[in-house]
């Protein structure tokens, strides 16, 4: 059985396209937020109860976050542990540092923590693939091929795949690239407005400021109309800095 979730909500067209195509591989269960919960990362709901509503056979809408959905699915709603979790298809890219904020990737991270092979799939709307229409079918077709590989070959522990697909026809996709995460940053951006009482309120959300744009990055692949597949690890430790930092302990300031 394959478990499908997302952060755009149970009614999102990307979720429908993904679930439909994965049915060709195996039985699909859907547990997804009852409304859009984009950019909530790995947030969980601890201070109020959660409700799950059965909306179709093998499909539940939950009034919580994507990670809540994974917890509920694995903890009670699914009849057995899935052999694969696929999160998406997100409306919009999850490239570079986006993965820290993404609810789509957040759900795949949670699946990985629970030792389920997990894939996050996003339809990239920036770069060369910027279009007014949404090619979820392209992303679904590619997601299905990658899902098949993951089921057959498995993934190492603590590793998920972050897949981004350019928003175009399948015939216009220029291939699949295995990439690394672009480490460009966003600008801090806050728009200030005044409410009717004259009090300020704000909208946040920056633009990509610098882009590292090595030829091997996820962003580069998408800007060249290629599918980007990044192996993402949950271990945030910088192993190269362990030894140099140990040398700091010799400093007299660090003596206890």
Chain residues that interact with Mn ion, rule: CB under 5 A? 7-8, 38, 90
CA angle 102, 104, 105 (to 5 degrees): 70
32: tokens are 């997804």
Q: Is 57 helix (H, G, I), strand (E, B) or coil?
A: coil
8-18: burial string, b at 16+ Cβ within 10 Å, e else:
bbbebebbbbb
Nearer to Mn ion, 43 or 80 (CB): 43
Nearer to Mn ion, 32 or 72 (CB): 32
Nearer to Mn ion, 38 or 118 (CB): 38
Q: How distant, in Å, are the alpha carbons of 23, 118, 231 from that of 160?
A: 21, 5, 6
Q: How far is the CB of 103 from Mn ion (least distance, A)?
A: 6
Q: How far is the CB of 38 from Mn ion (least distance, A)?
A: 3
24: tokens are 């060709």
Nearer to Mn ion, 71 or 98 (CB): 98
Q: Are 142 and 165 in contact (CB under 8 A)?
A: yes
Q: How far is the CB of 247 from Mn ion (least distance, A)?
A: 43
Nearer to Mn ion, 104 or 138 (CB): 104
Judging by DSSP bridges, how do beta strands 2-5 and 84-91 pair with one another? parallel
Q: How far is the CB of 200 from Mn ion (least distance, A)?
A: 28
Q: Which of 18, 55, 17 is nearest to 33 (CA)?
A: 55
Q: How far is the CB of 230 from Mn ion (least distance, A)?
A: 18
């Amino acid at each position: 059985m394959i478990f499908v979730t997302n952060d755009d909500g149970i009614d999102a067209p990307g979720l429908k396209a993904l679930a439909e195509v994965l049915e060709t591989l195996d039985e699909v269960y859907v547990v997804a937020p009852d409304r859009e919960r984009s950019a909530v990362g790995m947030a969980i709901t601890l201070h109020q109860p959660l409700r799950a509503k059965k909306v179709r056979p093998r499909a539940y809408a939950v009034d919580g976050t994507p990670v809540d959905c994974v917890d509920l699915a694995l903890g009670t709603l699914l009849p057995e542990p899935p052999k694969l979790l696929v999160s998406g298809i997100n409306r919009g890219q999850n490239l570079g540092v986006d993965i820290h904020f993404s609810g789509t990737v957040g759900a795949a991270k949670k699946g990985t923590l629970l030792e389920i092979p997990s894939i996050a799939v996003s339809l990239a709307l920036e770069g060369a693939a910027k279009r007014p229409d949404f090619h979820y079918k392209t992303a679904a077709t590619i997601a299905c091929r990658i899902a098949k590989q993951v089921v057959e070959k498995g993934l190492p522990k603590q590793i998920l795949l972050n897949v981004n697909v350019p928003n175009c026809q399948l015939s216009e996709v220029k291939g699949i690239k295995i990439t690394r995460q672009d480490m460009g940053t966003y600008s801090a951006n806050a728009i200030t407005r005044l409410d009717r009482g004259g009090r300020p309120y704000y909208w946040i959300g920056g633009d990509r400021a610098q882009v590292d744009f090595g030829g091997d990055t996820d962003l580069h692949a998408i800007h060249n109309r290629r599918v980007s597949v990044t192996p993402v690890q949950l271990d945030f430790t910088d192993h190269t800095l362990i030894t140099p930092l140990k040398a700091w302990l010799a400093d007299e300031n660090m003596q206890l």
